[in-house]
Amino acid sequence: MKWGKVVAIFLIVALIAGAAFYAVEPLKNNLKLGLDLKGGVQVRLEAKGPATDRDMDQIIAVMDKRVNALGVTEPIIQKEGKNRIIIELPGVKDPEEAVRIIGKTAHLEFRTYDGTTVLEGKDLQEAVEAKDPQDGKAYVALKFKPEGTRKFAEITKQLVEQYPEKDGNKDPRRVIGIFLDNEMLQIPYVTEPIPNGEARITGYADLKEAHEIALLLRSGALPVPVEMVEKRTVGPTLGADSIIKSKNAGIYGIIAIMLFMLFYYRVPGLIANISLVLYSLLVLGILAGINATLTLPGIAGFLLSIGMCVDANIIIYERLKEELRNGKSLRAAIDAGFSRAFWTIFDANVTTLIAAGVLFYLGTGTIKGFAVTLSIGILCSMFTAITFTRFMLKHLADSRLVTNSKFYGA
C-alpha cells in the first residue's frame, strides 16, 4: 500500500467536506433569489402601436427610473420580443403600490385652456424637484428638448399676448394644463414668455409633493403609450414555501442518488458522491460569483444537471466494470473505461449545451435562468466526472487501498 497516495486521497476528501460545511452560510447569504422564491411582482408591458428599438430602450430607461424611485433592490427590467417589456421586482414590500406606480403608463400631455395639446411627454427632457434657496419653497424645474423648447416658447408667448393681465388680475385662460393619462396633474399659470425651454412650477406644500409630481412627469415622458398586459404577484409566504419544498426535493433527491451510487457501484460510487459534493459547491459558487438570480426553473436546471453529472459517472463505471470483467488490471480498466466513455459523455453534454444556448437566446426571465443554471451545471459536471473522478480513481488504484474488483462493482 502506498501511504502517500492514501493520505492525499483523505486530505482531498477532508478538504471538500470542510469546504462544503463552511460554504453553506456564505452561499445562503450571497445567492440572489428570484421573484418566485423571494416573492414580489412581475409586470409585462406592451407598446401600443409601432415602436422602434430606440423607443423601447427609452421606455426601459423610464421604467428603471420608476423602479428606482420605489427603492426596490435587484429589479429586473428587460425587453421581450419587439414591443414588450418585463419588469420583475423581487422582495417588494407593497406589491399593489409598486403596480400602481409602474402602471402609470400614461401619455403625458400639455394642453391649453381650450383643450388643445401643445406639447407631449417626448418633448420633455427633465423634471426635477428642488427648493428655492431664497424663500425655501419647493418647486419642479422643467427642461424641454430642442423641439419642445421651440413649441413651449411659441405657446407661452402666444398665451401672454392673447390673454394679458388687466389691472393686475390674472386671466384664467393663460394656463397650460399638465395631463397624465387624461388626468390633470397641475394647471400652472404662464407668467411670461419662456424662450429657453426651462420653466419652474411652484405652489407645492413641501419637497415631497414636488418630488411626486416630478417623478410622474419624468415617468410620463414615454415615446409611445404602453399598456400593462399582465400582472403577477407572488407573496413572500408562497416564495418561502417554494424554497422549503425545493430544498427538501433537492436534499431527498441527492441522498437517493448517493445511496444508489454507493450500493450499486460501491467504491466508485463513493468517489461519485464526493465529486457530486464538489460539483454542487462549484455550481452554487459560480452562481453566487456571477451574481446570478436563482429561480424555481433555475433550481430545476441545477437538479437536472446533477442527474446528468451522475449519468456521466454511470457511463464511465459501466465501462470500468466491463474492462474488469474482461480481465484487465484495475489501473488499465480505469484508463480504458474513461477513454471509451469520454466521447459519449462529451457528445451528450454538447447537444444539451446547444439546447440551453437556444433557450437562453430565445427565452426570457426564468427561462434564461434555467438555461444559465443548466449550462453551468453541465460544464461543472463534465469537469467533475471526467477530471476529478478520474484523478481520484487513479490515485485510489495507485494507492492499492482497495484492490478487489468486487468493490468496483465487477
Please say if the pLDDT value at position 369 is more than 80.
no
Query: Distance between CA atoms of 157 and 130, rounded to whole angstroms?
Result: 26
Residue with cell 428642488: 130
Query: Distance between CA atoms of 247 and 118, rounded to whole angstroms?
Result: 58
Domain boundaries defined on the chain: 3-34+235-408, 40-105+222-234, 106-211
The yes or no reply on domain 40-105+222-234 and CATH 3.30.70.141 is no
Beta partners for residue 189, in sequence order: 175
Sign of CA dihedral 379, 380, 385, 389: positive
CA dihedral 264, 332, 282, 271 (to 10 degrees): 30
Query: Distance between CA atoms of 222 and 219, rounded to whole angstroms?
Result: 7
User: Given 3.40.50.10470, 3.30.1360.200, 3.90.850.10, 3.20.20.70, which CATH number is that of 106-211?
Assistant: 3.30.1360.200
Is the separation of the CB atoms in 107 and 49 below 8 Å? no
pLDDT digits (tens, 9 = 90+) for 184-202: 878 888 888 999 888 888 8
- pLDDT on residue 35: 72
- Burial per residue of 172-202, b for 16 or more beta-carbon CB atoms within 10 angstroms, e otherwise: eebbbbbbbeeeebbebebeeebeebebebe
18 burial class (0-12, 13-18, 19+ CB within 10 angstroms)? exposed
Q: What is the CATH number that goes with domain 3-34+235-408?
A: 1.20.1640.10
- pLDDT on residue 71: 60
- pLDDT on residue 223: 64
Whether this prediction's pTM lies above 0.75 is answered by no
Number of residues written out for the chain: 410
- Burial per residue of 96-131, b for 16 or more beta-carbon CB atoms within 10 angstroms, e otherwise: eebbebbbbbbbbbbbbeeeeebbbbbbbbebebee
Chain Cα centroid distance, residue 332: 47
Please say if the pLDDT value at position 15 is more than 90.
yes
Window from 89-98, 336-345, 396-405 with minimum mean pLDDT: 89-98
**209: which 3 cell numbers?**
409633493
pLDDT digits (tens, 9 = 90+) for 288-314: 888 777 777 888 888 888 887 888 888
- Mean pLDDT of all residues in 230-242: 70
